[in-house]
Structure 1
Amino acid sequence: MIDRRDMLSFTVLAGAATATPAFAATLADDDHARDFDFLIGSWRVKHRRLRERLTGSDAWQEFDGTCIMQPLMDGVGNVEDNWLDLPAGAYRAVGLRSYDPKSKLWAIWWLDGRTPHTLDVPVKGNFQDGVGTFLADDTLRGKPVKLRFQWSAIAANSAEWRQALSDDGGKTWETNWVMHFTRT
């Protein structure tokens, strides 16, 4: 397998320009540009999510799904095609990520196929000690909330993602969606 730093030194055969030396040097010295390489490929996903968020509910809904992730932009971006088989009706969604080597942060956007003209607010962050934490300010039912995505338990053939919300400025968090990934 070719390391991305090696890929930056040759011309892309499809006619794109070569990477600039400054960009290649930035990536070579960076410790977060490859944070999502573990997710490249095809996955089965077991979803578990709260039926109602920030209401004190403990009623969970479970369903299956799939995910296929591929890198973009020499690995500093990626796109994830998701199939979510909700009991109320299956739908598709897209996770889009991009990395900024200057800030050393990833941004993640979610595009839900049921509302195809609305991108969710991006969460931003990176990985520290094997856990990826990504945060944003958002709203729920017209009220401000903090949104958190976390990636953890990352292994060659499995990973876990969790979404949580906070309505008290991040003092407490309610996990409302858990996804267990198994490589296909």
Structure 2
Amino acid sequence: MATLSRFSSAQQSPAEGHDSSHDGQHDFDFEAGTWKIHLKRLVHPLTGSKEWVEFDGTSATRKVWDGRAWLEEFETSGATGHVEGLTLRLYNPESHQWSLYWANSRNGILAQPTIGEFKNGVGEFFDQEPFNGRSIFVRYVWSEITPNSAHFEQSFSDDGGKTWEVNWITDQTRVGSDPTKK
């Protein structure tokens, strides 16, 4: 379980305790290429609902700026609709952290970033944002990373990070190599 202090540490400046020996610039190298996606999304987060919807689709991820940035194009469809979006990931060499920005085709707005880093093969990224008239914490977790698969979860907390409710689960299986490599 993540705590508020873990959330706060994701917002620290470089001098405030980050391991400067780890250059995280290559943390997202695993994601280069084309992936088959299976997405499960909780229909009504933070309401106690247990109703999930499922989608299948693809994503294509490529590096830019020699790996200091990554762009993922994401498209899935399911019985309840279509999700099309992109993620822009930017690496900060001073803090050794990533800022992850999401945008969907429905509204065309680049959301505020979740900020964090990888430790021991798991990436955790946090932000605070409005949701249904209240302020919540958001956590992204990348885990179970292999050369041909990866697992991603988004969670919300409305109690200051004491508890987290997973509301978005994506399992990825590689179907193609990095499109920037010839």
**Category of TM-score, reference length = shorter chain:** 0.7 to 0.9
Aligned residues: 155
1:131-152 C-alpha deviation (Å, 9 max, x unpaired): 0000000111010000000000
TM-score when normalising by structure 2:
0.83
Paired position in structure 2 for 1:55: 47
One-letter identity of the residue aligned with 2:24: H
Structure 1 stretches of at least 4 aligned residues deviating more than 6 Å after TM superposition: none
- Residues in 2 aligned to 1:110 and 1:86: alpha-carbon distance in whole angstroms: 20
- Residue ranges of structure 1 left out of the alignment (5+ in a row): 1-28
- Residues in 1 aligned to 2:162 and 2:147: alpha-carbon distance in whole angstroms: 33
Paired position in structure 1 for 2:102: 110
Name whichever of 103-112 and 80-89 sits farther off.
Answer: 80-89
Do structure 1's residue 158 and structure 2's residue 175 form an aligned pair? no
Contact 1:30–1:101 (8 Å) recurs in 2? no
Residue 23 (structure 2) aligned to one of 26, 31, 51 = 31
Contact 2:23–2:93 (8 Å) recurs in 1? no
- Residue ranges of structure 2 left out of the alignment (5+ in a row): 1-20, 176-182
**Identity over aligned residues, as a percent?**
39
Paired position in structure 2 for 1:175: 166
1:108-138 C-alpha deviation (Å, 9 max, x unpaired): 000110001x111200001001100000001
Paired position in structure 1 for 2:126: 135
Paired position in structure 2 for 1:18: none
Name whichever of 79-88 and 160-169 sits farther off.
Answer: 79-88
Higher relative contact order (CA 8 A, sep 6+): 2
Paired position in structure 2 for 1:84: 76
One-letter identity of the residue aligned with 2:71: V
1:53-82 C-alpha deviation (Å, 9 max, x unpaired): 000011111110210000011100010001
Deviation at 1:30, TM superposition (A): 4.4
1:12-66 C-alpha deviation (Å, 9 max, x unpaired): xxxxxxxxxxxxxxxxx64311000000000000001111000001111111021
One-letter identity of the residue aligned with 1:149: Y
Paired position in structure 2 for 1:119: 110
CA RMSD of aligned residues (A): 1.0
What SS is found at the alignment partner of 2:101?
strand
- Residues in 2 aligned to 1:43 and 1:93: alpha-carbon distance in whole angstroms: 14
- Residues in 1 aligned to 2:84 and 2:90: alpha-carbon distance in whole angstroms: 20
TM-score when normalising by structure 1:
0.82
What SS is found at the alignment partner of 1:74?
helix
